[in-house]
């Protein structure tokens, strides 16, 4: 219920001044409102800085090893992908997942570009915008590949239909692509290889143009090196959509 203002208080507030005009009411201060602005800006910058570290980040695809699932070919607009960093905090990678992982020590090079980390929240936010449009410098410290087999599974190539074999069964992979002129449109034989527990066997979708677990000296990748799961292509506009 609303509390009524006493008549005498209301009359006193509205009583005319010495010149006959009603006395002006005291103006409310804007101090708290002005102080609230910088706090909101600081909170927004903090969120902007923490999201790429713990939740999700945009990565640039500069190579063709995941064609045509992800574009990074010479002469095309490199895809920008949103990588979910929470996905594998609550569950292990599964066969078929497209994941980003830290370069294993035994692997010799990398092909994924990410923003430089500056430690400055404002700059981190700008780097995320820059990653989207591709206007800032990048590091090359991560890979993006598809999980083919996980710990405890046995993988090898290939059956009489040129399919990867996992635990004795051929796997249909409709996303496969063979780069014209890069070699035969057939997968190179390997294995069988039993993937150790806590590790995963990864390969690029462009099977004759990918450095992955098949390469000499590479092999399986530890699950602990997974950064996140690639969820969406966010740029270019005509490529926006989920990643299968």
Domain definitions of the chain by residue range: 56-242
Distance, CA of 156 to CA of 149 (rounded, Å): 10
Distance, CA of 141 to CA of 2 (rounded, Å): 64
In tens, the pLDDT along 8-54 reads: 454 544 555 555 555 555 555 555 655 676 766 666 655 555 555 55
Of 63, 65, 206, 210, the active-site residue reads 65
Whether 229 sits among the annotated catalytic residues: the reply is no
Of 63, 85, 110, 145, the active-site residue reads 145
Segment among 81-90, 165-174, 176-185, 216-225 with least mean pLDDT: 176-185
* Per-residue pLDDT, 203: 97
In tens, the pLDDT along 174-206 reads: 999 998 877 778 898 999 999 999 999 999 999
Of residues 227, 205, 212, 226, the one with CA closest to residue 70:
205
Whether 224 sits among the annotated catalytic residues: the reply is no
Assign domain 56-242 to its CATH superfamily. Umud Fragment, subunit A (2.10.109.10)
Q: How confident is the model at residue 213 (pLDDT cuts 50, 70, 90)?
A: very high
């Amino acid at each position: 219920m609303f509390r009524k203002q006493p008549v005498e208080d209301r009359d006193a507030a509205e009583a005319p001044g010495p010149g006959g005009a009603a006395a002006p009411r005291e103006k409310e201060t804007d101090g708290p409102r002005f102080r609230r602005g910088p706090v909101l800006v600081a909170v927004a910058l903090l969120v902007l800085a923490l999201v790429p570290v713990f939740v999700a980040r945009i990565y640039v695809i500069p190579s063709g090893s995941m064609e045509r699932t992800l574009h990074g070919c010479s002469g095309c607009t490199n895809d920008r992908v949103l990588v979910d960093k929470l996905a594998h905090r609550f569950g292990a990678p599964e066969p078929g997942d497209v994941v980003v992982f830290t370069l294993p020590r035994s692997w010799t090079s990398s092909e994924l570009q990410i923003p430089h980390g500056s430690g400055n929240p404002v700059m981190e936010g700008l780097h995320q915008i820059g990653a989207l449009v591709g206007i800032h410098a990048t590091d090359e410290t991560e890979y993006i590949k598809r999980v083919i087999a996980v710990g405890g599974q046995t993988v090898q190539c290939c059956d009489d239909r040129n399919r990867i074999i996992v635990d004795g069964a051929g796997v249909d992979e409709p996303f496969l692509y063979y780069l014209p002129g890069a070699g035969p449109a057939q997968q190179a034989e390997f294995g069988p290889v039993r993937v150790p527990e806590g590790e995963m066997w990864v390969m690029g979708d462009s099977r004759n143009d990918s450095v992955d677990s098949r390469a000499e000296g590479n092999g399986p990748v530890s699950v602990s090196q997974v950064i996140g799961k690639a969820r969406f292509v966010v740029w270019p506009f005509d490529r926006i959509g989920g990643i299968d």
